[in-house]
Amino acid sequence: MGSFEYFQPANLSEAMDLLAAYGKNAVVMAGGTDVMVTLNAGELSANCIIGISEIKELKFIKEENGVLRIGPLVTMAEIINNKLIKEKFKSLWKAATMTAGPQVRNLGTIGGNLGTASPAGDLIPPLMVLDASLITVSKSGENVVKIADFFSGPKDTILRADSLIREIRIPFLPKIGASSFEKIGKRKAMSISVASAAAVVTASTDKMKFANVKIALGSLAPTVVRAEKVEERLRGRPIDQKEISEAAEMVREEIRPMTDGRATAWYRSEVSCSLVRKALWDALSELGAGRQ
């Protein structure tokens, strides 16, 4: 059986050594909001927890050469309190404000949200539409992964047992660009998403047409997915109600919602169009483009 161990590496290098040694039987814990639930229920199969929450080099928010660089240990609360993220990466900011409650937001991290990879993880759709990339690291070196390539299934990522996410990088949006996030849940706080949508919209200089559109959907498929048909449909089109409504209807073809304890597949499909429309109009109003 082997006894249970808890390690708390003080820096990244120690963490790498521990992961190399214990990786397969260990679980990495950042804020603990997922791991501790499993542990408390007596359901943790790993016999080792590597707690990375004290690794200071993994907690940072900085701007460099048109790119936002975030450490994986940045908490939801820290995202919410960051002025730059609120102004320039509204989608990520809004998703953080709508996740769980204050106590969980003080613990839960962006790296954890990615690592747990729940299709209902609220930070994931924003990171998708913001074209984030992740830097993963292990003893053997670093890798850059585009967020679209990071998830391999529900609660499954390409992250190897000996690796950690070291950094999340998000390019700044062009000037005529804005992002948004909408979700449907059971109540106004402490609510796991039934369906969610994040959007990035960039407009033409005269703000009359869509230049580019990106839409990512949460809790509507086994992993977070991009609504590529809707995006294609809107590129270059005039910004008006008819275009948006017609395009939003197409989202039903791009999702594979399931029936679970929170909602049926039917409901998720029905509300997906409304969500996409809301997310688009929210981003547009940030831009000051179009009129609903």
User: In whole angstroms, what is the distance from residue 91 CA to residue 281 CA?
Assistant: 13
Applying CB under 8 A, does 190 fall inside the site for other proteins?
A: yes
Instruction: Kindly state whether residue 39 participates in binding other proteins, applying the rule CB under 8 A.
Output: yes
**Would you say 56 or 186 has its CB closer to other proteins?**
186
What pairing do the DSSP bridges indicate for beta strands 133-138 and 195-203? Answer: unpaired
- Which region, judged by CB under 8 A, interacts with other proteins, from 14-22, 62-70, 168-176, 264-272? 264-272
Residue 191 β-bridge partners: none
Closest approach, Cβ 7 to other proteins, in A, equals: 9
H-run or E-run covering 94: helix 90-97
Q: Tell me the closest approach of the beta carbon of residue 209 to other proteins, in angstroms.
A: 26
Query: CA gyration radius for the chain?
Result: 19
Nearer to other proteins, 41 or 83 (CB): 41
The total of other beta-carbon atoms located within 10 Å of residue 75's CB is 23
Q: Which is nearer to other proteins, 84 or 189 (CB)?
A: 189
Whether the Cβ atoms of residue 164 and residue 55 lie closer than 8 Å to each other: no
> Please, what is the end-to-end C-alpha distance for the chain in angstroms?
62
36 Cβ contact partners less than 8 Å away, ≥ 6 residues apart: 29
Which of 32, 69, 222, 237 binds other proteins (CB under 8 A)? It is 32
Contact letters for other proteins, residues 103-142 (x by CB under 8 A): xx-xx-----------------------------------
Look at residues 49, 43, 42 and name the one whose alpha carbon lies nearest to residue 23: 49
The C-alpha atoms of residue 137 and residue 167 are separated, in whole angstroms, by: 9
Residues 81-110 as x/- pattern, contact with other proteins by CB under 8 A: -------------------xxxxx-xx---
Nearer to other proteins, 270 or 286 (CB): 270
CB-nearer residue toward other proteins: 60 or 266 = 266
Name the token pair of 242.
């008819």
> Does residue number 53 form part of the binding site for other proteins (CB under 8 A)?
yes
Phi then psi for 171, rounded to 5 degrees? -70, 145
**Minimal distance, residue 36 CB to other proteins, in Å:** 4
Distances (CA, A) of 94 to 12, 66, 214, 234, 259: 30, 21, 17, 24, 26
Q: Which stretch binds other proteins (CB under 8 A): 46-54, 59-67, 124-132, 219-227?
A: 46-54
- Residue ranges binding other proteins (CB under 8 A): 3-6, 8, 29, 31-33, 36-37, 39-41, 49, 51, 53-54, 77, 100-104, 106-107, 184, 186-192, 259-264, 266-267, 270-271, 273-274
